[in-house]
Chains A and B, each alone.
Chain A
Amino acid sequence: MTSAISVRHLTKDFRVGLRGLKLRAVDDVSLEIPRGQVYGLLGPNGCGKSTTLKIVLGLVSATAGEVSILGCPSATPEARRRTGFLPEAPYFHKFLTGRELVRYCARLSGVPSADVAAAVEDALGLAAMTEAADRPIGTYSKGMLQRIGFAQAVVHDPELVILDEPTAGVDPVGSAAIGRMIHAMRGKGKTIVLCSHLLGQVEQVCDRVAIMDRGRLVLEGRVEDVLSRRDRHVLTVESMTPAAREAAEAALAAHGAVVTSVTHPRRSLEDLFRELVTGSRDA
């Protein structure tokens, strides 16, 4: 089976200034994004990840290299027919309602007229935007904008969904809602490419990650593989007394193991926040 996205030796140079100085934004990047997975593309600002995504979507031309989506050259409409895209900080025509926007995008994406109404309702439902769908987009909060952006990206039931910073500026509750949408899409067998600065969220939802820096790919692999430290172990113990701790350390020492730290487990601030404000939505 072909990869969802195949990037081979991709290079992109921009000409800047009157003298046309060359600025290399993407430098010989090769990636294979398998189908049916959630793939995280990480990196600091200006590392080339957005440029890479734009090349993948045919919005920017590559200086060198090849990119294909689901086996089709990425610049072709056929490749984009099977792809959904949510840009960073999306902006939509404010005078349209959410439902009108999603219908508009469905028509542009080639959804047959007979199927448009159902596709629009499905997408709005998936993005939890059904109730607010008839309000003008100009009245939406940032979280709602991201959710309606998600709905327009998936309305044509694409095989591949590319999300550029889907949770930027969204509160943790909205962020968790987007995380649930990503899980729902993965449950349907879709491939999701996620570009994000929120490393905690990427860690939670992604199967694989790639990290870019200064236009180059510096790491790629399964999240478990790249994060786990095989030479360290964590034991979580309840009701441990000082005596029990001493005995455990002695027992471990007898086998040549060294206890390097003993701490109390912590929950994340995001988990605590979500626990305390459950039920509140970013309306």
Chain B
Amino acid sequence: MQASFLRISWIARVTFLEAVRQRFFAFLLILGAAMALSSVSFRVLDFGHGELKFIADFGFGGMFLFGSVLAVVMTAQLFFSEMDNRTALTLLAKPLGRGEFLLGKFAGAWAVLAVFVGVLSALLGVVLWGREQELLLLAEQSGKVPPTFSASGLAQFALLQWLRLGVVASIVLAISSLARTFLYAVVVGALAVVAGQLQWIAQDAILKPTESPAYEALLWCTSRVLPNLQQFNIGDALVLGATGVPADAVGAVVLAGAAYMAAYVFLGALLFGRREI
């Protein structure tokens, strides 16, 4: 067990090193950071919402958009670089299980996503805190109630986003285990993210009566097989809400995310076990 954990951690370590050296990662990190930092400049376009909400939404959007692109493209790239460059041939000829290899790849990719989410969340926190301090001074002068944000809520949101990106990475890895080309894995992975964002439609539809058993079965499968990625979007309530989000609700989201992640990594390991290298 310990030996297996060590092998997985070594695969993860090298995967992480490979990923953070890529220009693609740096490019998306800079774009996301620029979006978070520049949100202050665009706050005049707040469409009537509070300034802090606008800044937070801008940051959340950057994290979601660039994080999703990173999770899909980078995970597929990390997998296919091992296949196409045939480094997998050297590694899998060692006493390393296919499941261990795939778990190591996932752990490495997820660690990179942790860095991505961590950096963007920290920057967003700094921007929110800076503007909050300015608004506090203005509120004191005008006698109004100042808007505030919750740093701990932001930390919780960052963890949920990391989990969401982990679910996306696990889906892409499962697809990659079956796919023959990088492009196929990226396209299907991106479609899966879009479908995950829209999964709530299937959840709503299944509650309504239908006369077609086939349609009902399709809805049931869609609502079970695909994770509802929208359930992770509770940033407003966590970061800006006065009462936050009940711990059991956050716990339920975490459990659902962890279950989907584990299921997709397991599925990927099964598929990869049958793949001929």
**Is B191 interfacial (CB-CB < 8 Å)?**
no
Asked if A60 and B10 sit within 8 Å, CB to CB, the answer is: no
Given known A-B contacts A61-B276, A107-B7, A109-B95, A92 and B90 have beta carbons under 8 A apart: yes
CB <8 Å contact, B86 and A87: yes
B277 touches A54 (CB 8 A): yes
Interface flag for B34 (CB, 8 Å): no
B115 at the interface (CB under 8 A from A): no
The answer to whether residues A109 and B87 also contact, given A59-B277, A60-B276 and a CB cut-off of 8 A, is no
Which one, A54, A83, A108, contacts B96 given CB within 8 A? A108
B94 touches A108 (CB 8 A): yes
Given contacts A92-B87, A107-B6, A108-B7, contact A57 B93 (CB under 8 A): yes
With A and B bound together, what is the CA distance between A108 and B94 in angstroms?
A: 7
How far, in whole Å, are A91 and B86 apart by their CA atoms in the complex? Answer: 7
User: By the criterion CB–CB under 8 Å, are B276 and A110 in contact?
Assistant: no
Known contacts A59-B92, A152-B90; A96 and B277 CB within 8 A of each other: no
Question: How far apart are the CA atoms of A89 and B3 in the complex, in Å?
Answer: 29
Asked if A93 CB lies within 8 Å of chain B CBs, one says: yes
Q: Tell me how far the C-beta of A24 lies from the nearest C-beta in chain B, rounded to whole angstroms.
A: 15
A273 adjacent to chain B (CB < 8 Å): no
A85 and B17 alpha carbons, distance in the complex (Å): 24
Contact A80-B276, Cβ < 8 Å, known A91-B86, A104-B14, A107-B10: no
Q: Does B244 contact A (CB under 8 A)?
A: no
Q: Name B95's contact: one of A61, A78, A89, A95 (CB within 8 Å).
A: A78
Which residues of B1-54 are within 8 A (CB) of A? 3, 6-7, 10-11, 14, 17-18, 21
The CA-CA distance from A58 to B14 in the complex, in Å, is 23
Evaluate contact between B93 and A59: CB separation under 8 angstroms: yes
- Are B18 and A93 in touch, CB under 8 angstroms? yes
Cβ of B243 within 8 Å of any chain A Cβ, yes or no, is no
Q: Which residues of B are found within 8 Å of A107, using beta-carbon distances?
A: 6-7, 10
Residues from chain A with a CB closer than 8 A to the CB of B86 are 87, 89-91
A-B CB pair tally, cutoff 8 Å = 68
The chain A residue with its CB closest to the CB of B277 is A59
Let me know if A44 is at the binding interface, CB within 8 A.
Answer: no
Complexed CA–CA distance, A105 and B87 (Å): 11
Q: Does B147 contact A (CB under 8 A)?
A: no
Is A125 among interface residues, defined by CB-CB distance under 8 A? no
Query: In chain B, what residue has the closest Cβ to A83?
Result: B93
Q: Are A59 and B276 in contact (CB under 8 A)?
A: yes
Q: CA–CA, A77 to B7, complex, Å?
A: 12
**C-alpha gap A72/B277 in the complex (Å):** 21
Residues A87 and B93 in contact, CB atoms below 8 Å apart: yes
Kindly report which residue of chain B lies nearest to residue A113, judged by CB atoms. B6
Does any Cβ of A come within 8 Å of B91's Cβ?
Answer: yes
Docked complex Cα distance between A54 and B93 (Å): 9
Determine the chain A residues whose CB is within 8 A of the CB of B14 once the complex forms.
Answer: 93, 96, 104
In the bound complex, do residue B7 and residue A93 qualify as a contact, i.e. CB atoms below 8 Å apart? no
**B residues in contact with A95, CB < 8 Å:** 17-18, 21
Q: Does A35 contact B (CB under 8 A)?
A: no
> Which A residue's beta carbon lies closest to that of B92?
A59
- Check A87/B90 contact, CB under 8 A, given A60-B276, A95-B17: yes
Contact B18 A80 (CB under 8 A): no
Q: Closest chain B residue to A109 by CB distance? A: B94
Say whether A104 contacts B10, CB under 8 Å: yes
CB of A81 closer than 8 Å to a CB of B = yes
Kindly state the separation between the CA atoms of A105 and B6 in the bound complex, as whole angstroms: 12
Q: How far is the CA of A107 from the CA of B11 in the complex (A)?
A: 10
Interface pair A105/B276, CB less than 8 Å apart: no
Query: Is B241 an interface residue, CB under 8 A from the partner?
Result: no
**A259 vs chain B, min Cβ distance (A):** 53
Known: A59-B276, A60-B277, A108-B7. A81 touches B87 (CB 8 A): no
B89 touches A80 (CB 8 A): no
What are the residues of chain A within 8 A of B7 when measuring CB–CB? 107-108
Of all chain A residues, which has the CB nearest B81? A93
Least CB separation from A105: chain B residue: B94
| CA distance in complex: A110, B2 (Å) | 11
A101 shortest CB reach to chain B, Å: 9
B106 to chain A, nearest CB (A): 17
A interface residues, Cβ below 8 angstroms from B = 54, 57-61, 77-78, 80-81, 83, 85, 87, 89-93, 95-96, 104-105, 107-110, 149, 152, 162
Which 7 residue pairs spanning A and B have beta carbons closest together? A85-B93, A77-B95, A81-B95, A59-B277, A80-B95, A91-B85, A108-B94
Other A-B pairs, 19, CB within 8 Å; known A77-B97, A107-B6: A57-B92, A59-B276, A59-B277, A60-B277, A61-B276, A80-B96, A85-B94, A87-B90, A87-B93, A90-B90, A92-B90, A93-B17, A93-B18, A93-B87, A104-B14, A107-B10, A108-B96, A152-B90, A162-B93
CB<8 Å pairs between A and B, sample of 18: A58-B92, A58-B93, A80-B93, A80-B95, A81-B95, A83-B93, A85-B94, A87-B89, A90-B86, A90-B90, A93-B17, A107-B6, A108-B7, A108-B96, A109-B94, A109-B95, A110-B95, A162-B93
